[in-house]
Amino acid sequence: MSISLLDGLLNNASLTFQIGSGTITTDLETGNPIESTIPITISCKLDQRKEPNYDPARTQPQNLPGIYMEGYAIDPAIIPTSIARDAVATANINGLTGKFHMVPKMQLAALEVLGFTELTGQRICGYFQIN
């Protein structure tokens, strides 16, 4: 089985984040200064999961509408640090388009120390809102 065929079986989602480039431009409609953005796309494997239980004493639920999904980054396997843990991406998941609202999720430290994150991909969790 070739690598490209294997990639097609493993990844079912594409998340595109707009990240600030550090360059300021002018909004043509308002004339206000705005930061230019560059797209960063992450291929990943995401599946619908039961929404996690939250301990109200420690954590507030996200209260985001949509389908809760979890999975792993494939390409790149490590999410760039320029992407905030609560970022919103334009998403294509199983052929459906919409917005994906990432929510912070702890990565197991032991996996990172042993270098498995590069092999298995960094965890991605969030809510998918279909257009």
pTM of the model: 0.75
Query: Is residue 102 in some structural domain?
Result: yes
pLDDT surpassing 80 at residue 124: yes
Amino acid at 96: L
Range(s) of the domain holding residue 106: 3-23+33-130
Long-range (24+ apart) CB contacts under 8 A made by 112-118 are 117/77, 117/78, 118/77, 118/78
Number of domains in the chain: 1
The pLDDT of residue 7 is above 70: no
User: Would you say residue 110 lies in a domain?
Assistant: yes
Of residues 105 and 129, the one with the higher pLDDT is 129
> Does some domain include residue 28?
no
Q: Give me the mean pLDDT over the 34-57 stretch.
A: 82
Residue 27 has pLDDT above 60, yes or no: yes
Segment 23-49 shows an average pLDDT of 92
